[in-house]
Structure formats: structure tokens, C-alpha cells
Amino acid sequence: MSYSEEFLKALERTADFDLAPPDGVTEVPGRMMNDKRIRHLNRVLAPVFEGIVSYEQMVGQCMPLHLKARPVLEEWLGCPVYFTLGWVDDGTPKGVHKFDDAMIADKLANGHQDDTINIHAWLTLPTMEIIDLTLSTTFSILQGLKDGEGGVITKKADEITGFAYKPMLVGEAFLSKAGIMQNVTWYELE
């Protein structure tokens, strides 16, 4: 199944769980993240990383960092950018941050009680390109590797090799309804 098909299923799942999916999502052909934009990405996203002084501080911060980056990228790219929750298929039975509909239902019914959650967040563009600010760094830190620290994944989802993004929900409503992020600070950049 293509990422586009899985993203549509994630939109349906988001609606099925009454989590207010974004309206009017349509796939756009082509690429938004060309070489020039990729070169300027660090400068554009600098305000998102304000206060982060080490790569270690990025581990486990996929949700707040992508929530902060979304409006910045929407303004810069001039298009909707979709906050996406899901997991990463690395070819192992366990996957990376793998979860299912049962976990979603449980968190919505009973709330989130722990300090951490086994879930990953990234951004999806209308072209089905992924922008992931944290996965490369998280893998590098947890595996004790220097290569990949500070790396940003910007690629068409279906062109990524070695692993696959598995979108489950679109939008941030799940985070507040499940009590995962109750006090989100929203930043507006002028």
C-alpha cells in the first residue's frame, strides 16, 4: 500500500475516532522540497529549535517540535502541512513506536497516564513528502552514532528506503483528547 493510501486511511481513522481531521486534503503531484528549499530549511526552522543546545535534547521530542514547525512551514511553503502521528516500519515485528486502533481507543477512553508514549510524529506535505525533524537524531543518539545527528528527513514517503512511515492519525486532536499534551505552547512568528 502506498503512503498516499495509508494517509487517506489515517484521515478516515481520525474521523472515525471523532478527532476532527483537516478538511479538504488533496494530494498534489510533484515536489515542494526542492534542493533550494532543503538548503534553506535550517534557517527557516531556526526558531523551532530555539533553546535546544544538544542533539540529546531532541530525543523524545517529536510531538512538540513538529507542532512548533508546522505553522512555520505552512507560512514558508504556502500550503497546508499535516501533523501526522504514526509509527515506523523497520522490518521487525515490533516496529518503531508501533501502535494500533486498540491503543488509540484505550487512550481516548482512559486517558494517558504515563510520562512517555510509544508514538511518533512527523509532518506530511500535500505532495506526500515527509518532513521529519527528529527520527534521524533519535536513532543516532540511541545507537551511539554521530552520523545522522541533526539530520532531517525530507523525501517523498514512498521513496524512502530501509524503513517506511505508517500514518495512523492526522492532526493534533488526539494529543489533547487523550491528555498527552495538555499544555501546548503555540508560537506565532512574525
- pLDDT per residue over 172-187, tens digit each? 999 989 988 754 433 3
What is the DSSP-derived secondary structure letter of residue 52?
-
Q: Domain limits of the chain?
A: 3-178
Over residues 105-134, the pLDDT tens digits come to 999 999 888 777 788 999 999 999 999 988
CA 66 to chain centroid: 6
pTM: 0.86
Neighbours of 44 (CB within 10 A): 16
- List, in order, residues 6 or more apart from 104 with CB less than 8 Å away: 13, 17, 168, 169, 174
**What class, spelled out in words, does domain 3-178 have in CATH?**
alpha beta
Q: Is 9 exposed, middle or buried (0-12, 13-18, 19+ CB in 10 A)?
A: middle
Q: Let me know: does 190 contact 36? Beta carbons within 8 Å.
A: no
